[in-house]
Amino acid sequence: MWKYTDEVMDHYRNPRNVGEIEDATVIGEAGSLACGDKLKLYLKVSKDGIVEDAKFQTFGCGSAVASSSILTEMIIGKTLEEVKKITNKDIADKLGGLPPQKMHCSVMGREALEDALSKYYNEEIEIKPQEKIICQCGNISEDTIRNAIRDKHLQTIEQVGDATSAGTMCGNCLQEIAKILEEETKGLNNFDITKLNKTQQILKVYGVIEDHVAGELRKDGGDIELVDVDNNKVYVSLKGCCKSCKNSQLTLKNFVEHSLREYLSPDIEVIGV
C-alpha cells in the first residue's frame, strides 16, 4: 500500500480549481484515457503575460487529481516566464512527495502545462532544460547518466539507478537507460590499456578499485592500496584484515583481478606487494 502525504490527501479530497474556463486563453492536454490518466488544463492569461486563472479536469487516480490541483495553485498569479520554469519535481515537492510509482502523475501535469504554453506561443517550447531529460520523474538528464556510467564504470541498470536515481521511480525510462548503457559500455572491456599514458592508467584503475573493490573490503575490516600500474600489470597492497588473511591471494585473484578485468580490460594481471 502506498503512503501518501497529508498534502496529497488534502488535494485529492478537496481539489482546488476543478472545472473549465469558458473563455480560456489556452487549453493544454496530456495523458490518454486508454492509459488510465488524462488531464485538461485551462489557462486565462492577461495581456501582460500573467496567469489570472487556471482550472483543470482530470480523469485518473488520486495522485493525478492532487498533482493537477496543486499545479493550478502554483501557476495562478505567476508570469508565464515563471510558469515555464516549473518542473514535475516541483509539483511533487509541493505535495510533500509522491510514491515512485505515482511520479508519472506529476509528469502529466508538467506535460499539460508545456502543451498549453506551446499553443499560447504558437510554437514548440520546452519547459525542461535544454539537455535531454531521460528520467522525467527525477529530472535526470542524458548527460548525467552517461557521465555516471563513464566515471563510475557502471555496468547494469541497477548500478545506474544507485548512482543517479534514474529509473528508480515510475520505471518508464528503463528501456532508454538500457540503450544508453549499451552504447556506453560497448567495447568497454576490449580497449587496450597500454595505449593510455601512465597517469591515465593509474586514474582508470584507481577509479574501479574505489567504486567496486575497496568498499567491499572495508565492510570486513580490510582495505586496498593501489601501488603502481605498469601497462597490464597492476600492483596493489592489501591492508587491514585482508593483509593477514589466509585467503588474501584468493581475494587478489578472484575479486580484485576479476573486477578490474570486468570493468577495464581482460588482460589485466593483479600483483600483490
> For the segment 192-214, what is each residue's pLDDT rounded down to a tens digit?
777 778 888 888 888 889 888 98
Q: Which residues contact 6 (CB under 8 A, 6 or more apart)?
A: 96
Name the active-site residue from 105, 170, 173, 242.
Answer: 105
Q: What does the pLDDT read at residue 187?
A: 54
Pick the residue with more confidence: 247 or 34?
A: 247
Give 179-234 as a DSSP string: HHHHHHHTTGGGS-GGGS-HHHHHHHHHHHIIIIIHHHHHHTTEEEEEEEEETTEE
- Phi, psi of 48, deg, nearest 5: -95, 20
Pick the residue with more confidence: 145 or 133?
A: 145
The full set of domain ranges for the chain reads 6-121, 133-186, 193-272
Output the nine-digit C-alpha cell for 109: 501535469
> CATH assignment of 193-272?
3.30.300.130
Would you say residue 50 has pLDDT above 50?
yes
What is the CATH T-level fold of the domain 6-121, as seen in this structure? Sufe protein. Chain: A (3.90.1010)
Q: What does the pLDDT read at residue 60?
A: 85
Output the nine-digit C-alpha cell for 115: 502543451
Rounded to the nearest 10 degrees, the angle between the axes of helix 103-121 and helix 62-75 is: 40
Q: What does the pLDDT read at residue 7?
A: 94
Q: Which CATH superfamily is domain 133-186 in?
A: BFD-like [2Fe-2S]-binding domain (1.10.10.1100)
Closest by Cα among 212, 268, 213, 264 to 237: 213
How far apart, in whole angstroms, are the C-alpha atoms of residue 256 and residue 72?
55
Would you say residue 129 has pLDDT above 70?
no
How far apart, in whole angstroms, are the C-alpha atoms of residue 7 and residue 13?
10
Beta carbons of 178 and 154 less than 8 angstroms apart: no
How far apart, in whole angstroms, are the C-alpha atoms of residue 245 and residue 237?
13
Mean pLDDT of the chain: 86
Q: Is 35 a catalytic residue?
A: yes
Which residue has cell 528501456? 175
- Phi, psi of 176, deg, nearest 5: -70, -35
Report field, pTM of the whole predicted structure over 0.85: no
Q: For strands 51-59 and 269-272, give the pairing.
A: unpaired
Q: What does the pLDDT read at residue 188?
A: 55
Q: Is 137 a catalytic residue?
A: no
Output the nine-digit C-alpha cell for 169: 521511480
> What separation in angstroms does the CA of 222 have from each of 6, 203, 271?
46, 22, 17
Beta carbons of 194 and 232 less than 8 angstroms apart: yes
Q: What does the pLDDT read at residue 35?
A: 55
Beta carbons of 30 and 111 less than 8 angstroms apart: yes
Output the nine-digit C-alpha cell for 178: 538500457
Which helix (DSSP H) or strand (DSSP E) does residue 256 occupy? none
User: Using one digit for the tens of pLDDT, what is the confidence trace for 217-235?
Assistant: 888 888 999 999 998 999 9
Q: What does the pLDDT read at residue 81?
A: 92
Would you say residue 123 has pLDDT above 70?
no
| Three-state DSSP state, 39 | strand
User: Using one digit for the tens of pLDDT, what is the confidence trace for 65-88?
Assistant: 999 999 999 999 999 999 999 988
Determine the distance from the C-alpha atom of residue 191 to the mean position of all C-alpha atoms in its chain, rounded to a whole number. Answer: 28
Would you say residue 162 has pLDDT above 70?
yes
Pick the residue with more confidence: 191 or 198?
A: 198
